């Protein structure tokens, strides 16, 4: 099966990086003048030359997002099931070489955490684990989904890369979306950050979205860990990946997230600093390039940034997040994957969204409606 690897191999990191930093203001103006933009335009819009046009970009970004998604922000919460991990990743609190207490939630503990999230009002949950094949594997995931699938309209997962057959099992179990981040598309630098474990296999991770798309998962979420490498070049390759996937798996929806490296147990400092203006530029560039792309902002970001980004291009936000297994009620002191930056409650975030003239959406779609649609297709 042809995968993104064949496209990726046609590009050179240093060549793309040079092209980004050699972009002129005239290139940016040509990109902004277009109604429909391609990857060359995206490259221009993430270049340093585009910074003076940020206000213009933000205004158009606002209008495009409003036209495509309305004035709504979907609310979701991560549910960390385990901090066990067999990888050594120099930027992650769950890394195998961190001598910390490991915890994987039992069925009873999962139900306690789910009850806490439901009491807040969440109807979209993101299941997250470390990468430990012997303990948190496909059987564990399927069991956890069985415990909770009647409690949420949307179940998303962010777990270790799986086989196509395993993703098909998740799809059949009711998983709506799968998030997988390449972390960095710089192949040589990737090896330095991922020194041991299955995650050190760059190609296997690179081809994961192909397996997700082949399995028929409704939505695929991509992103890079901002701070590991030059964010502009990494983001071009992430957009290249999305462009390839949208053309090949055209019935699938896509989202992009922007995790900036945050403090955690035993991790390195960011290799590249990305400030708020840079992140705003990147969000605008994605929206101007691809108005169908869903854009998610997590609690990694600070309160001021999250407040201001609401009307620009955001379509979903996490709130009241805990990044440790059992963090909501079962074991609040267990190890976090990273420190969150916005500690406000879900109700506070919902109020801010409302005060910004937007609607916080707790339930994105109804399973009963989808069943009716399927029945209608059969009748036709």
- pLDDT 10s digits, 343-358: 999 999 999 999 999 9
Least confident among 124-138, 221-235, 309-323, 337-351: 337-351
Tokens matching residue 219 = 């939505």
- Higher-pLDDT residue of 379 and 8 is 8
* Mean pLDDT calculated for residue range 327-337: 71
Tokens matching residue 154 = 């949307």
The span from the CA of 274 to the CA of 272, in Å, is: 7
Helix extents (H) in the chain: 4-8, 13-21, 25-33, 39-45, 54-69, 107-120, 138-148, 164-173, 187-193, 202-206, 208-215, 231-248, 276-289, 303-309, 346-355, 367-379
Any idea how long the chain is? 380
Tokens 């922007």 belong to which residue? Answer: 258
Confidence of residue 338 (pLDDT cuts 50, 70, 90): low
Q: Over pLDDT 90: what percentage of the chain? A: 77
- pLDDT 10s digits, 210-227: 999 999 999 999 999 998
For the chain, what is the mean pLDDT? 90
**pLDDT of amino acid 377:** 38
**pLDDT of amino acid 263:** 53
Is the confidence at residue 365, as pLDDT, over 70?
no
- Residues 143 and 107: beta-carbon distance below 8 Å: yes
Q: Taking every pair of C-alpha atoms in the chain, what is the biggest distance, in angstroms?
A: 60
Confidence of residue 370 (pLDDT cuts 50, 70, 90): very low
Tokens matching residue 98 = 């961190």
């Amino acid at each position: 099966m042809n995968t993104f690897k064949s496209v990726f191999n046609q590009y050179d990191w240093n060549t793309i990086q040079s092209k980004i930093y050699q972009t002129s203001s005239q290139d940016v103006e040509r990109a902004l003048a277009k109604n429909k933009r391609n990857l060359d335009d995206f490259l221009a819009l993430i270049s340093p030359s585009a910074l003076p046009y940020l206000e213009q970009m933000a205004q158009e970004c606002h209008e495009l997002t409003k036209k495509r998604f309305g004035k709504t922000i979907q609310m979701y919460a991560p549910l960390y099931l385990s901090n066990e991990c067999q990888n050594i990743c120099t930027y992650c609190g769950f890394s195998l070489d961190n001598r910390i207490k490991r915890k994987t939630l039992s069925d009873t503990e999962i139900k306690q955490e789910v009850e806490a999230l439901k009491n807040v009002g969440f109807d979209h949950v993101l299941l997250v684990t470390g990468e430990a094949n012997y303990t948190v594997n496909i059987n564990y995931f399927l069991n956890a989904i069985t415990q909770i699938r009647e409690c949420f309209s949307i179940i998303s997962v962010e777990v270790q890369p799986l086989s196509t057959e395993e993703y098909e099992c998740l799809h059949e179990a009711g998983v709506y979306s799968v998030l997988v981040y390449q972390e960095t598309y710089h192949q040589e630098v990737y090896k330095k950050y991922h020194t041991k474990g299955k995650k050190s296999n760059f190609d296997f991770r690179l081809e994961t979205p192909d397996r997700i798309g082949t399995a028929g998962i409704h939505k695929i979420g991509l992103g890079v860990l901002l701070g590991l490498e030059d964010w502009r070049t990494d983001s071009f390759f992430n957009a290249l990946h999305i462009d390839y996937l949208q053309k090949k798996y055209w019935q699938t929806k896509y989202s992009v997230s922007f995790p900036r490296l945050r403090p955690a147990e035993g991790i390195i400092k960011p290799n590249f600093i990305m400030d708020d203006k840079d992140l705003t530029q990147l969000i605008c560039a994605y929206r101007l390039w691809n108005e169908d792309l869903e854009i998610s902002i997590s609690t990694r970001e600070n309160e001021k940034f999250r407040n201001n980004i609401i009307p620009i291009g955001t379509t979903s936000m996490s709130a009241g997040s805990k990044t440790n297994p059992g963090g909501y009620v079962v074991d609040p002191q267990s190890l976090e994957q990273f420190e969150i930056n916005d500690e406000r409650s879900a109700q506070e975030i919902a109020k801010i969204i409302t005060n910004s003239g937007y609607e916080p959406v707790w339930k994105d779609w109804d399973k009963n409606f989808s069943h009716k649609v399927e029945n209608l297709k059969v009748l036709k």
